[in-house]
Structure 1
């Protein structure tokens, strides 16, 4: 089969067996046409990591937007995985090729003043306000993903020792330190926690169920508006802020990696780039000859 035949088979597989949207199929068709042309006479089945890396450099030279370049890499990676699935080859040349850092937009991060305003937004004169304050404090104190936050259970929170136990990606359990401010907010919340039915989940909805991801997102968005934060605010922004603020104060990168639950330290290293960009901004704002 020719390279084009394999590409057609892959796109057919995505459409019929995976139910991928037609606009994605067409985008992949365009991306893989570029890859096929870049390979020239090289057979797809014999393409190596150097061919993939060369293609990535080609994309960079074309000044593609990060989203488009990321999609093209995903298309190439998917194609080679498909070839293995079809037993056409045993090797995946994309497996040891990392997505270039210059494609990854730097995470959005709050400054400390914004964090303080956000955490102070919930009114603590009601059970709902106490719950919301505790959730925001825990999220910023631990850097948990939103799924990990709403999945916290009572027996996974040790306020005396100052730790929470959460279930991360791939069902990997990890223990993360909990600061005094967050521990105190949780302790106060627990005294007013309204239980309508037996449950072990820490944070409950108004109906007494486990809080949903969308429910928390709406809560956070509301307090962001109340705090006057103009940046796009998502649960992951607090996770980014947690990591960046730790590193800015001298935390060890490996320790931050462990707390975030990153399996690869290169994922954590993006926050060192955030620090450098912020330093540049400060320099440009305040240095007289910047």
Structure 2
């Protein structure tokens, strides 16, 4: 490599290319040499054939020295300057990523691995409602106006409040995921959109008579489906938890069922009644990791069989019922388990643990079933009214 030579500008040097010409001279590579906090720094700028000159190099050097002298926070070396420029370009590239690009290329591939059951719904939300309004927009260009358009389009199409909530939940989750990965820095604008509140919780549960009729009829149709229904009704397992059960999860000695990676994101144990224990004890033992309940191909069952609803409808349990919260379904079995527990005086904390709820808020939906003390208070209040009407006024607080 040729030696660097000084130029007419202090701190600016160059070296000549051994063979390549630029004009009549050998091509020259310019660099600047200076001190930062007592340390000598030398950094290259570029070739004359690419447009660099000694004068341009001197101007760059003067700019860096001025920044160092003033101490304004501006870069004082070319290395710092280039690093900032790269970061700026990276930020601009990220800010140019559209909601649709991120959803299709990053969010969905990740969701397929982590939560495959939700992927189909989220794709539908995007294709029908999100994409037409904001699929082609970069994140920084999406605000309240765009989200209000999504909401208006759905209301105009007659979509239920709960469906709108689901779509906005998808928008929020995609946005928060992008924020976590540094694609966007602002909070999701969904927080500024007012959505109608909707109570989607099922209110009705099987009576003992309905449950008996349901199980009796179901057993005539399919013994395996009967087993799954009984486990849900008498141990409170979700369908997904039953579908995931392996032979190694059943402990007949301690009467417990091991549930791996439940909906709450943690493993737990469920308790067996005598009837549930009989379901598992009469089964032929299988390999520890083999599925207990599976489809014809030996694979995991993805959703409850349609036979459950055929039996329920055949018994007329939902005749004349239009509110979906009042309709009995397979999922009502777990709800019935919890409701029967509360009816028998089991405390909500214990119900929470038996159901595998992550927090008490989910179990509070059953609190109205245990408010016998409040019922007694109202009865006392009622007595006071009746006594007053008979001319025998008694203070309500004196019992």
> TM-score per shorter chain, which class?
0.5 to 0.7
Do 2:162 and 2:200's aligned partners in 1 also have CA atoms closer than 8 Å?
yes
Residues 210 and 201 from structure 1, CA distance in 2 versus in 1: closer, same or farther, beyond 3 angstroms? farther
Q: Give me the whole-angstrom Cα distance separating, in 1, the residues matched to 2:308 and 2:105.
A: 39
Q: Give me the whole-angstrom Cα distance separating, in 2, the residues matched to 1:7 and 1:79.
A: 14
Counting only pairs closer than 5 Å after superposition, residues 88-127 of structure 1 correspond to structure 2 as: 88-89=184-185, 102-112=197-207, 113-123=209-219
RMSD: 4.5
| Secondary structure at 1:122 match in 2 | helix
Q: Give me the whole-angstrom Cα distance separating, in 1, the residues matched to 2:96 and 2:142.
A: 11
Q: Give me the whole-angstrom Cα distance separating, in 2, the residues matched to 1:271 and 1:37.
A: 39
Determine the structure 2 residue equivalent to 1:154: 247
Q: What is the CA deviation profile of residues 237-265 of structure 1, one whole-angstrom value per residue up to 9, with x for unaligned ones?
A: 21222223222333222222222222232
Cα offset, 1:22, TM superposition: 2.3
> If the length of structure 2 is used for normalisation, what is the TM-score?
0.47
Do 2:168 and 2:190's aligned partners in 1 also have CA atoms closer than 8 Å?
no
Counting only pairs closer than 5 Å after superposition, residues 1-290 of structure 1 correspond to structure 2 as: 9-15=98-104, 17-18=106-107, 20=123, 21-26=126-131, 29=134, 36-37=144-145, 65-72=161-168, 74-76=170-172, 78-86=174-182, 88-89=184-185, 102-112=197-207, 113-123=209-219, 128-129=222-223, 131-167=224-260, 168-169=262-263, 172-187=266-281, 189-190=282-283, 193=284, 201=290, 203-205=292-294, 207=296, 209=298, 212-214=301-303, 216-230=304-318, 232-272=327-367
Q: Give me the whole-angstrom Cα distance separating, in 1, the residues matched to 2:229 and 2:269.
A: 18
Q: Give me the whole-angstrom Cα distance separating, in 1, the residues matched to 2:354 and 2:133.
A: 36
| Secondary structure at 1:164 match in 2 | strand
Q: What is the CA deviation profile of residues 62-83 of structure 1, one whole-angstrom value per residue up to 9, with x for unaligned ones?
A: xx82332453354345434423
Q: Give me the whole-angstrom Cα distance separating, in 2, the residues matched to 1:70 and 1:275.
A: 31
Cα offset, 1:138, TM superposition: 0.8
Q: What is the CA deviation profile of residues 212-257 of structure 1, one whole-angstrom value per residue up to 9, with x for unaligned ones?
A: 133x423423433444332755432212222232223332222222
Residues 93 and 255 from structure 1, CA distance in 2 versus in 1: closer, same or farther, beyond 3 angstroms? farther
| Secondary structure at 2:335 match in 1 | helix
| Secondary structure at 1:175 match in 2 | strand
Q: Give me the whole-angstrom Cα distance separating, in 2, the residues matched to 1:274 and 1:101.
A: 27
Q: What is the CA deviation profile of residues 98-141 of structure 1, one whole-angstrom value per residue up to 9, with x for unaligned ones?
A: x99943312253231322221222346x9x52x33322211111
| Secondary structure at 1:212 match in 2 | coil
> If the length of structure 1 is used for normalisation, what is the TM-score?
0.61
Do 1:144 and 1:260's aligned partners in 2 also have CA atoms closer than 8 Å?
yes
Extract unaligned runs of 5+ from structure 2.
Answer: 1-93, 109-122, 148-159, 322-326, 372-399
Q: What is the CA deviation profile of residues 178-228 of structure 1, one whole-angstrom value per residue up to 9, with x for unaligned ones?
A: 1123223443x42xx5x8x867546345758355133x4234234334443
